[in-house]
């Protein structure tokens, strides 16, 4: 269980990214974090594993307050938190297997990771995860030889290799096409429910969030302005999160796109 | 309906917009050039003498004599090659930690400043100056040359490596950090894969620079093929000097081709 208490972050430039955010994510819950860009979604999830140092507040994972930890303790706690990134963030020149095994870095001594001599249980787990995400035969390929969707699957396997108690997911589908996006979201939700794993998912695509999330938190200018199940995410709530102007523009954009798509489809049918 | 579009177009002036100023500026540069050239004092009779000497030089090169000084040449060559290889290996080995320390995104502030200072000192002192200094310290011979080239290699490789590390894709490093990796593991998993091909390319390039430099620093007494060349010229044996130069050109060409082939292979 993750517990955020009064989490705030003000950058050195004076920009306040988060102010007084308090949230609880129970075991097994998949929580979507939506909001306009600059609302502090990225900062929020990076404050949890302290890739960004929060200015004040508490991050309680189980009984441990992550904000107070020293370097060594922080490394040990980071093992409990898997992270999945927008641009996959795989190490491009390493093989798929090395990328998955890098999820074990916090558990093994330096010499083992340097010589790539991981314990047999780690290797077995890595293969099992690769099989789970459907990339068994790609284990020895270099990460940059894979397609976007495949790379994100490796990213998921790497995060799971940590045997995490929490998943942080930063815009998992922003660089993927709509169909692959849905496949990745389905895989993520399946894996979370298989392992009863809580997850916080930053997501800018509202329909996708409504389709896959159990709970949605809306962030605006660093504050929580909505917190509830997806079916309570009404027009009014979305207007509150995105601001009237932006929300209308987004909706108009969606409508235009849908219209253009329908038109293109009609034209294609006419040709065939 | 039809509009008469212009048929000529000239690129608008980018720096000085005013035409009169532009002409004045160009004229000024010309006058300065003429005045500057007129102050160069040329002794034409000396140039004429030199031409004759140059002719002997070139004739010597056209008839290179590998045989009569072969023992000196081969000894100098072996010295130079040994110096080149050892100094590159040692230099690169020392450069790697210094380069990592000089990368702003990896090292704490105080280490960063120390490593950048080492690089600055190594780059500020030209090879010949270091060679003169080290020959004075350790005596004539290839050991001084080896130290000189190692020292020069540190400035070169460490700086370029540090700049390269500063330009890596940070998200890959962030992802490795997020797994709970230690600093060493971060360097090994996120940094090394990103900079390794370039580090190897730079080392090969430095190998070939070091060979050329070994010929130059030999002239100030740091051993190697340069010393052989210097002796040959001092003795007016231009045919032997020609042979030495041809060998240097040959070896530089071989390293050039093989290193570009290796770099392509590594990409």
Which B residues, 183 through 222, put their C-beta within 8 Å of a C-beta on chain A?
A: 184-185, 188-190, 193-194, 196-197
| Chain B contact for A83 (CB, 8 A cutoff) | yes
DSSP lists the bridge partners of residue A33 as A202, A217
Q: What is the pLDDT of residue B46?
A: 87
Question: Which chain A residues are within 8 Å of B178, Cβ to Cβ?
Answer: 49, 51, 78, 81, 83
- B6 interfacial to chain A (CB closer than 8 Å): no
Taking the C-alpha atoms of residue A226 and residue A235, their distance in angstroms, rounded to an integer, is: 12
Nearest-Cα distance to chain B for A94, in Å, is 7
B256 within domain boundaries: yes
- CATH code for the part of the protein at A1-79+202-232: 3.40.50.300
* Record: contact B194-A77, CB cut-off 8 A: no
Q: Which residues of chain A are modeled with pLDDT < 50?
A: none
Give a yes or no: residue B26 inside a domain.
no
Domain range list for chain A = 1-79+202-232, 234-272
A120 in Cβ contact with A140 (< 8 Å) = no
d(CA B235, CA A189): 84
Query: Do the chains contact at A105 and B184, CB–CB below 8 Å?
Result: no
Which CATH number goes with the domain that contains B221? 1.10.3720.10
User: Does residue A117 sit at the B interface (CB-CB below 8 Å)?
Assistant: no
Is residue B222 within 8 A of residue B136, CB to CB? The reply is: no
Q: Which residues of chain A lie closer than 8 angstroms to B171, CB-CB?
A: 85, 87, 89
Residues in chain B within 8 Å Cβ distance of A155 = 175
Asked if the C-beta of A152 comes within 8 angstroms of chain B's C-beta atoms, the answer is: no
For residue B52, give both structure tokens: 């004759």
Closest by CA position to A2, among listed A55, A53, A44? A44
- Decide if B125 is inside a domain: yes
Q: What are the chain B neighbours of A162 within 8 Å (beta carbons)? A: 179-180
* Residues of chain A contacting B194 with CB distance shorter than 8 Å: 91-93
- Within a domain: residue B231? yes
Q: Which residue of B181, B183, B188 is the best one to mutate when testing the A interface, meaning the one whose CB has the most A CBs within 10 A? A: B181
Cross-chain residue pair A94–B193, CB shorter than 8 Å: yes
Look up the domain containing B260 and give its range. 70-266
Domain count, chain B: 1
Chain B interface, best mutation among A45, A74, A93, by max B CB count within 10 A: A93
Distance of CA A255 to the CA centre of its chain: 27
Which residues of chain B register pLDDT less than 50? Answer: none
| B55 within domain boundaries | no
pLDDT at residue B1, rounded to an integer: 61
Q: Between A78, A90, A110, which is nearest B179 by CB?
A: A78
**pLDDT of the residue at B59:** 83
For A1, the enclosing helix (H) or strand (E) is none
Give the span between the Cα atoms of B120 and A106, in whole angstroms.
Answer: 36
Q: Compare all CA atoms of chain B with the CA of A52 and give the residue at the minimum distance.
A: B174
- Interface predicted TM-score of the whole assembly (ipTM), two decimals: 0.86
Residue B65 located in a structural domain: no
Asked if A85 lies within 8 A of B171 by C-beta distance, the reply is yes
CB contact (8 A) between residue A89 and residue B175:
yes
pLDDT at residue B267, as a whole number: 65
Q: Is A114 on the interface with B (CB under 8 A)?
A: yes
Domain membership flag for residue B37:
no
Residue B200 C-alpha, separation from nearest chain A C-alpha, in angstroms: 15
């Amino acid at each position: 269980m993750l517990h955020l208490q009064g989490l705030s972050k003000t950058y050195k430039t004076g920009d306040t990214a988060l102010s007084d955010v308090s949230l609880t994510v129970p075991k097994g819950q998949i929580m979507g974090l939506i909001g306009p860009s600059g609302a502090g979604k990225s900062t929020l999830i990076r404050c949890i594993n302290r890739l960004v140092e929060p200015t004040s507040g508490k991050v309680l994972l189980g009984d441990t307050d992550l904000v107070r930890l020293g370097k060594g303790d922080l490394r040990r706690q980071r093992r409990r938190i898997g992270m999945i990134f927008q641009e996959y963030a795989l190490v491009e020149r390493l093989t798929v297997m090395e990328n998955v095994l890098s999820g074990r870095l916090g558990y093994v001594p330096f010499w083992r990771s340097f010589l790539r001599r991981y314990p047999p249980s780690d290797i077995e787990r890595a293969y099992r995860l690769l099989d789970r995400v459907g990339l068994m035969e790609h284990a020895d390929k270099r990460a940059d030889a894979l397609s976007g969707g495949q790379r994100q699957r490796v990213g998921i396997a790497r995060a799971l290799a940590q045997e995490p108690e929490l998943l942080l997911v930063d815009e998992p589908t922003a660089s993927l096409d709509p169909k692959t996006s849905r496949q990745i979201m389905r895989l993520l939700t399946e894996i979370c429910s298989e392992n009863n794993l809580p997850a916080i998912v930053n997501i800018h695509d509202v329909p996708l969030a409504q389709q896959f999330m159990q709970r949605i938190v809306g962030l605006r200018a660093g504050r929580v302005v909505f917190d509830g199940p997806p079916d309570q995410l009404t027009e009014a709530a979305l207007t509150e999160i995105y601001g009237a102007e932006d929300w209308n523009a987004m909706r108009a954009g969606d409508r235009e796109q849908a219209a253009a798509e329908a038109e293109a489809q009609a034209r294609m049918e006419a040709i065939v | 309906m039809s509009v008469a579009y212009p048929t000529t177009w000239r690129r608008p002036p980018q720096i000085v917009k005013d035409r009169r100023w532009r002409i004045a500026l160009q004229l000024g540069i010309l006058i300065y050039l003429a005045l500057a050239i007129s102050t160069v004092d040329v002794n034409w009779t000396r140039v004429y003498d030199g031409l004759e000497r140059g002719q002997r030089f070139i004739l010597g090169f056209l008839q290179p004599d590998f045989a009569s000084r072969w023992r000196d040449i081969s000894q100098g060559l072996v010295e130079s090659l040994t110096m080149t290889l050892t100094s590159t290996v040692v230099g690169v080995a020392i450069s790697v930690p210094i380069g990592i320390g000089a990368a702003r995104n990896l090292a704490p502030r105080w280490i960063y400043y120390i490593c950048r200072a080492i690089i600055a000192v190594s780059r500020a002192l030209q090879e010949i100056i270091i060679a003169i200094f080290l020959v004075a310290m350790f005596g004539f011979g290839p050991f001084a040359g080896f130290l000189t080239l190692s020292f020069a290699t540190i400035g070169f490789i460490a700086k370029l490596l540090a700049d390269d590390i500063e330009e890596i894709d940070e998200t890959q490093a962030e992802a490795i950090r997020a797994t709970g990796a230690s600093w060493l593991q971060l360097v090994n998993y996120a940094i090394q894969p990103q900079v390794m091909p370039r580090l190897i390319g730079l080392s090969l390039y430095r190998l070939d620079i070091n060979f050329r430099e070994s010929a130059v620093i030999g002239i100030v007494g740091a051993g190697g093929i340069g010393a052989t060349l210097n002796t040959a010229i001092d003795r007016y044996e231009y045919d032997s000097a020609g042979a030495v130069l041809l060998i240097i050109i040959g070896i530089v060409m071989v390293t050039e081709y093989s290193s570009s082939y290796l770099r392509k292979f590594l990409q």
